[in-house]
Amino acid sequence: MPDSSVRDRRALGGPGVLLVVVYGVLALAATGRSVLQISEYFERAPLAYVLSAVAAVVYLLATWCLARGGRWVRVGIVACAVELVGVLAVGAASYALPSAFPDKTVWSHFGQGYGFVPLVLPVLGLLWFRRVERAAAAEETAARGAGVGDGAAPSGG
Amino acid sequence: MCGVIAALTYVVVAVSVTLCLAAVWYAVRDRLIDDRLLAVAALLELGVVVLLVAGLLGLGRIGDATERATFVAYLVSLPVIPVGTALLAIKEKSRWAMGSMAVGAFAVGVMTARLLQIWMAYA
Which residues, 6+ apart, have CB-to-CB distance to B36 below 8 Å? none
pLDDT digits (tens, 9 = 90+) for A88-124: 999 999 999 888 887 777 888 898 888 898 999 999 9
Measured between beta carbons, which residues in chain A are less than 8 angstroms from residue B80?
A: 28
> Around Cβ B51, how many Cβ atoms within 10 Å?
22
Q: Does B55 touch chain A (CB under 8 A)?
A: no
pLDDT at position A100, please?
81
Measured between beta carbons, which residues in chain A are less than 8 angstroms from residue B107?
A: 25
Query: Nearest CA to CA, how far is B7 from chain A (Å)?
Result: 24
Compare B26 and A147 and report the one with higher pLDDT. B26
Encode burial over A77-114: b for 16+ CB neighbours within 10 A, e otherwise: bebbebbbebbeebbebbeeeeeebeebbbbbbbbebb
| pLDDT above 70 for A12 | no
Measured between beta carbons, which residues in chain A are less than 8 angstroms from residue B103?
A: 18, 21-22, 25
For chain B, the maximum distance between any two Cα atoms, rounded to a whole number of angstroms, is 48
pLDDT at position A13, please?
66
Closest partner residue to A13 (CB to CB) among B66, B74, B92 is B92
User: Does the distance separating the beta carbons of B77 and A17 come in below 8 Å?
Assistant: no
Confidence band of A33 (pLDDT split at 50, 70, 90): confident
pLDDT at position A10, please?
56
Query: Nearest CA to CA, how far is B2 from chain A (Å)?
Result: 24
Residue A8 is given by DSSP the state S
Distances (CA, A) of A124 to A49, A97, A141, B20, B47: 26, 29, 26, 22, 32
| pLDDT above 60 for A149 | no
For chain A, the maximum distance between any two Cα atoms, rounded to a whole number of angstroms, is 67
pLDDT digits (tens, 9 = 90+) for A126-139: 999 998 888 888 88
Q: Does B90 touch chain A (CB under 8 A)?
A: no
Q: Does B118 touch chain A (CB under 8 A)?
A: no
pLDDT at position B63, please?
86
Query: Nearest CA to CA, how far is B35 from chain A (Å)?
Result: 20
| 3-state percent breakdown (helix, strand, coil) of chain B, nearest 5 | 85, 0, 15
Q: Are A109 and A95 in contact (CB under 8 A)?
A: yes
Q: List the single residue in A with minimal CA-CA distance to B68.
A: A36
| pLDDT above 60 for A74 | yes
In the predicted model, what is the mean pLDDT of residues A134-154? 72
Residue type, A121: L
pLDDT digits (tens, 9 = 90+) for B10-63: 999 999 999 999 999 999 999 989 999 999 999 999 999 999 999 999 988 888
Q: Does B65 touch chain A (CB under 8 A)?
A: yes
